[in-house]
Amino acid sequence: MLHMGHALNNVLQDIIIRFKRMQGCNTLWMPGMDHAGIATQNVVEQELAREGLTRHDLTREEFIARVWQWKERYGGVIINQLKRLGCSCDWSRERFTMDEGLSRAVREVFVRLYHDGLIYRGDYVIQWCPRCHTAISDLEVEYKEVNGHLWNVRYPLQDGTGELVVATTRPETMLGDTAVAVNPEDERFRGMVGKQVILPLVNRAIPDIADPYVSMEFGTGALKITPACDPNDFAVAKRHNLPLVKIMDGSAIINENGGPYQGQDRYVCRENIVKDLEDQGYLLGREPYLHNVGQCYRCKTDIEPSVSTQWFVKITPLAKEAIAAVVEGKTRIIPPGWEATYFEWMNNIRDWCISRQIWWGHRIPVWYCGGCGKTIVASVDPAACPDCKGLKLSQDEDVLDTWFSSALWPFSTLGWPDETAALKTFYPTSLLVTGFDILFFWVARMMMMGLYVMKEVPFRDVYLHALVRDENGEKMSKSKGNSIDPLEMIDRFGADAFRFTLAAYTAQGRDVRMSEERIEGHKHFVNKIWNAARFSLMNLDDYPAPAATGAKLITEGASLPERWIIHRLTLVTTEISRQLDEYRFNEAASSLYQFIWHEFCDWYLELMKPTLYGKDQPEKRTAAQANLYQLLSAILKLLHPFMPFVTEEIWQTMDDRRDSIMVSPYPAFDPALVDEEAAREMTLIMGIITAIRNIRGEMEIPPAKKLHVSISAPEDVSRRVISTGSHYITHQANLESLILGNETAEPKGSITGIVGDCRVYVLLEDTIDLAKKRAKIEKELSRVDKDLEQSSKKLANRDFLAKADPRVIEKEQEKSRDLLHRHRILEESLKKFREILTTS
């Protein structure tokens, strides 16, 4: 029921909604609509089919009641499933798709368009589904490649002077031919134009006409014109005032115009026609031909282009406004790449066939007077004919295309045509989140209708998210059986992990390839958060939850890791806010992941452990607890839009008197908490710890073995930082001793790590393989030399020095100096090793 596309759409939307709400924004978004009108009707028709019925065996009212019944059930289930994802969905709004309010709006808009001359009724070749017995719009046709044939058929000239050979993929439609056409420039047919040809089998005389539409290159150069079966032929026929011969009924069965073929199915008829043509010597040949056949998007039946009387919206004037709105930036399409597609479609748009011969939908508000035949278009049911006062009125049987009513959503749901407060407050809405697959169906039409009715765009931002595909990049669909069930994912990995995964893989303009492994990875992340919170709360058990207001992060007198993590939190907060403002979901997710796991957990919590455990310095512990509490709160808030469940759970555990985290204020940027100095100092401390760990790992020294380390730090600043933070280094790198000097010589038998301008010497035991030590140094030296060579080359380039940005040059010089420094140190150690190796 709930499929991936639904899940992605609702989750992305929910992330923005929660984020904006926490920021105190009073915005309205377009809810992800369960646009299941047609789909539901389909299901109901299938149900009926199992009972051996069609919808025509029921009355219209009975049928609609059944659809409602099904929709209620379906809708209710969907709502509950969305709740499990942490997304809210207002079923009362869903209901609105067919209720009285919308019905009023639909009629009102129809009438307005009609009176503005933008709706007309006319004959045109439309796409017709012979199974659903309804017109469908061009967009609803799905083309499928099929191996067909191209038949060449002789059409003899009436005067017996020759023949025309036409090529066709659909020989059965010749029953409806009313002309044969050639290109006026085509020399081959000079003299034939204007003559009559005999339509084989039917023996009807039809003219040979000239029209530039015919391509000289394709087929035989002669084209049969079947105006009732092909929109292009229809256009040609109009130009030449040709008659229309309709040869099929609504079920694609040949009608009385088909003579002996009457009553045959179109494909049966094709076989018979081909056979008869062959028998009578009219068939000149048949070649295999690969072409596309349109199918109904609902039932996959081959569609039958067929001339019929339908209602159309004259779309060009509406499209013009909708184009302008995007050009002028009144509505932003995100990612902007889709703008081109939008313009392309809008510029080449064709009139919109809005009538459907189905039963579920809004009836067209048009009545015909049985007395005088007048057409009445009205927003309220007319009681009598305004002309002849006759009472025998019948409403048009057709209903409107579902997208007609959907197009009114942004304002009809807010109460239009009444001037409600909601409408005044929330129109235009701030954001629409939807899949690009309905850019034309829905988004473009909402734009047009919104501008037409409200004289203002329906939304400021349109965020078009990607399609969800499976691991192999195939579009997920129930029929292919490759869909991953979101509910199963929730059961196995949790809603939070699933949500986070959806966000993490939603990069703009790319499809999402869903795989279980990724969700599992994020389940680990949720687990990490849970454990980090558990650890924090364990160390906060004697810390009273502060009053909701006034509690702040304390930098005054705070330790280095605290100053640093507060600094980082501040930066990450702005980063995430910006990323979400720009709908960069994957980046926001990545920022959170990196910060929480690799900064908060890996460094801050680890470094704070001694303080938090320490019973000897209770005042330090209390101060650390205050910050820990605030940091954890802030992290939960940042995370909340992505992981509503686990964050709320922890939030309430921290202080069960609190309101939901959902309504807590989102962390805001505080310039007072920026501390570049702390960042620099921590970078040095972390660098030294990492360097020591690196050496330990490379040399395969067991973690339990305590090391002797000495550090040479020429700069006073560095020395002070290391000195103050020495206990962090000792603890994290598991040291026995740490000696600090300004120009300490490399102790014998040690291995060197370089961090900035500092050298870190790790004393090794003699038992360690000397060759291994040497190999490590050599490896690093070659790496440094490679970089150094590249850098020197660059700096030796005059053009570079002359033309590059001075900041880039300065950076390069600094890099070069650093590399040279490293090179020297490594050379030195290597020299020493050679000496040891030769002496021993």
In the bound complex, what is the minimum distance in angstroms from residue 411's beta carbon to RNA? 26
229 touches 294 (CB < 8 A)? no
181 or 423: whose CB is closer to RNA?
181
Question: Strand pairing partners for 205?
Answer: 198
423 or 707: whose CB is closer to RNA?
707
Closest CA to 334 of 263, 432, 268: 432
| Dist. CA 636–CA 653, nearest whole Å | 12
373: contact with RNA by CB under 7 A: no
Residue carrying structure tokens 């995007």: 326
Amino acid (one-letter) located at 740? L
219 or 725: whose CB is closer to RNA?
219
153 or 364: whose CB is closer to RNA?
153
**Interactions with RNA, residue window 158-187 (CB under 7 A):** 166-170
Closest CA to 436 of 459, 461, 460, 464: 464
* 3-class SS of residue 150: strand
Fill in the DSSP letter of residue 157: B
**Interactions with RNA, residue window 627-686 (CB under 7 A):** none
Tokens of 574: 């702005």
CB proximity list for 14: less than 8 A, separation 6 or greater: 85, 86, 87, 88, 499, 641, 644
538 or 672: whose CB is closer to RNA?
538
- Binding RNA (rule: CB under 7 A), the pick from 5, 200, 219, 361 is 219
Tokens of 162: 């020759």
- Binding RNA (rule: CB under 7 A), the pick from 117, 160, 473, 550 is 473
232 or 574: whose CB is closer to RNA?
232
217: contact with RNA by CB under 7 A: yes
515: contact with RNA by CB under 7 A: yes
Nearest 5 degrees, angle CA 225-CA 227-CA 232?
Answer: 80
41 or 168: whose CB is closer to RNA?
168
- Binding RNA (rule: CB under 7 A), the pick from 415, 521, 749, 756 is 521
- Binding RNA (rule: CB under 7 A), the pick from 60, 84, 93, 513 is 513
Q: Is 743 exposed, middle or buried (0-12, 13-18, 19+ CB in 10 A)?
A: exposed
In the bound complex, what is the minimum distance in angstroms from residue 565's beta carbon to RNA? 13
Residue count of the chain: 840
224: contact with RNA by CB under 7 A: yes
797: contact with RNA by CB under 7 A: yes
231: contact with RNA by CB under 7 A: yes
523: contact with RNA by CB under 7 A: yes
- Binding RNA (rule: CB under 7 A), the pick from 19, 404, 426, 440 is 440
In the bound complex, what is the minimum distance in angstroms from residue 744's beta carbon to RNA? 23
Q: Is 4 exposed, middle or buried (0-12, 13-18, 19+ CB in 10 A)?
A: buried
In the bound complex, what is the minimum distance in angstroms from residue 113's beta carbon to RNA? 22
Q: Residue 368: what are its φ and ψ, rounded to 5°?
A: -120, 135
- Binding RNA (rule: CB under 7 A), the pick from 214, 333, 447, 788 is 214
77 touches 1 (CB < 8 A)? yes
Fill in the DSSP letter of residue 136: E
700 or 716: whose CB is closer to RNA?
700
CA 703 to chain centre: 47
| Interface with RNA: number of residues (CB under 7 A) | 88
CB proximity list for 98: less than 8 A, separation 6 or greater: 37, 68, 362
Tokens of 396: 């048009």
89 or 206: whose CB is closer to RNA?
206
| Dist. CA 451–CA 111, nearest whole Å | 16
Residue carrying structure tokens 């080449």: 348
Helical ranges in 539-643 per DSSP H: 560-581, 585-593, 606-613, 618-639
In the bound complex, what is the minimum distance in angstroms from residue 389's beta carbon to RNA? 45
91: contact with RNA by CB under 7 A: no
In the bound complex, what is the minimum distance in angstroms from residue 578's beta carbon to RNA? 8
**Interactions with RNA, residue window 716-775 (CB under 7 A):** none
146: contact with RNA by CB under 7 A: no
Buried b / exposed e over 167-192, threshold 16 CB at 10 Å, is: bbebbbbbbbbbbbbbbeebeebeeb
791 touches 819 (CB < 8 A)? yes
570 touches 670 (CB < 8 A)? yes
481 or 702: whose CB is closer to RNA?
702
200: contact with RNA by CB under 7 A: no
Closest CA to 243 of 185, 147, 307: 307
Q: Which stretch binds RNA (CB under 7 A): 107-115, 370-378, 616-624, 698-706?
A: 698-706
**Interactions with RNA, residue window 576-635 (CB under 7 A):** 584, 586-587, 590, 593, 597-598, 601-602, 605-606, 609
Residue carrying structure tokens 């709006």: 105
In the bound complex, what is the minimum distance in angstroms from residue 280's beta carbon to RNA? 20
446 touches 410 (CB < 8 A)? yes
In the bound complex, what is the minimum distance in angstroms from residue 706's beta carbon to RNA? 12
Closest CA to 377 of 110, 100, 123, 102: 110
270: contact with RNA by CB under 7 A: no
In the bound complex, what is the minimum distance in angstroms from residue 527's beta carbon to RNA? 3
Q: Which stretch binds RNA (CB under 7 A): 47-55, 89-97, 274-282, 528-536?
A: 528-536
169 or 420: whose CB is closer to RNA?
169
**Interactions with RNA, residue window 703-722 (CB under 7 A):** 703-704
CA 777 to chain centre: 49
**Interactions with RNA, residue window 102-141 (CB under 7 A):** 138-139, 141
Tokens of 443: 């988004």
CB proximity list for 594: less than 8 A, separation 6 or greater: none
344: contact with RNA by CB under 7 A: yes
Tokens of 105: 């709006």
In the bound complex, what is the minimum distance in angstroms from residue 698's beta carbon to RNA? 6
Q: Which stretch binds RNA (CB under 7 A): 112-120, 342-350, 355-363, 560-568?
A: 342-350
348: contact with RNA by CB under 7 A: yes
Q: Which stretch binds RNA (CB under 7 A): 7-15, 26-34, 369-377, 520-528?
A: 520-528
**Interactions with RNA, residue window 375-404 (CB under 7 A):** none
- Binding RNA (rule: CB under 7 A), the pick from 120, 218, 267, 669 is 218
Q: Residue 116: what are its φ and ψ, rounded to 5°?
A: -85, 5
373 or 703: whose CB is closer to RNA?
703
- Binding RNA (rule: CB under 7 A), the pick from 194, 288, 481, 538 is 538
In the bound complex, what is the minimum distance in angstroms from residue 634's beta carbon to RNA? 17
213 or 669: whose CB is closer to RNA?
213
In the bound complex, what is the minimum distance in angstroms from residue 695's beta carbon to RNA? 8
235: contact with RNA by CB under 7 A: no
Buried b / exposed e over 114-130, threshold 16 CB at 10 Å, is: beeebbebeebbbbbbb
**Interactions with RNA, residue window 288-327 (CB under 7 A):** 291-292, 294
In the bound complex, what is the minimum distance in angstroms from residue 750's beta carbon to RNA? 18
In the bound complex, what is the minimum distance in angstroms from residue 754's beta carbon to RNA? 13
Tokens of 580: 């979400």
28 or 228: whose CB is closer to RNA?
228
687 touches 755 (CB < 8 A)? yes
